Amino acid sequence: MSNNIIITGAAQRLGLHCALALKHAGYNVIATWRTEKPGLTQLRDAGVQCVQLDVTDNTQLTDFIAQIKQQHNSLRALIHNASDWKKDLPQSDNTVTALAGDSAVYDAMQAVHAKAPYLLNRALAPLLQANDGISDIIHLTDYVASTGSGKHMAYAASKAALENLTFSFAKALAPKVKVNAIAPALLMFNSDDDNEYREKALKKSLLQIEPGANEMTNTVVYLLNSRYITGRVLALDGGRPLAGN
């Protein structure tokens, strides 16, 4: 049975923690990164194979897929963690400028969150299906995929597209490949988040805690160990929909 796992966007935060945890669990982890981050030292020291890849660049994506197919006969899992977070632009009275700016933001969000996973899933499906046992695709989406966002509409729409791809690929690749999504709300703060923001953010969920990166990693491992979950979106939101915020 193959133990090769690809995780995209693994140079920092949740992706970094997940890649290290899976490596320590005995998996052969291939971690992609777009820009140099301090976390790459941790990954390399742990023996994780690190590959520079901008998932929105078709040339780089083509080369990466060819490299994976050359080096490996099968895959245990493909985890889509690569993400970007662009805010919608301010309204402009200049229609040409507004359309160009909005188009750029929307296309950028769709490229990283929906198009790249679609292309990678399609291209690497034969390796996932070649695994001796069951294999997995895991999409990392977002709480706002089901609620929308007033300031990050393009981002929310792209994550919703990724959730929909979860259902389509689950149908297409069954029964050999399980396909699921994880939709977190707040899991961990950034170091520069001030106390006022932290207090306000924590009150948005019923549990009112910062659970940390382990929450996502534990959910990834849960899905990898499951034999009977596919086509589902697992919410990691502390009961936020019930909090009324």
Active centre residues (catalytic): 155
Residue 185: CB atoms within 10 A of its CB come to 19
DSSP letter, residue 37: -
Per-residue burial over 125-157, b if 16 or more Cβ lie within 10 Å, else e, is bebbeebeebbbbbbbbbbbbbeebeebbbbbb
Residue 33, classed as helix, strand or coil, is strand
Strand locations in 20-176 (E) = 28-33, 49-52, 77-80, 135-140
Write the CA distances from 21 to 29, 42, 96, integer angstroms: 10, 12, 47
DSSP letter, residue 8: S
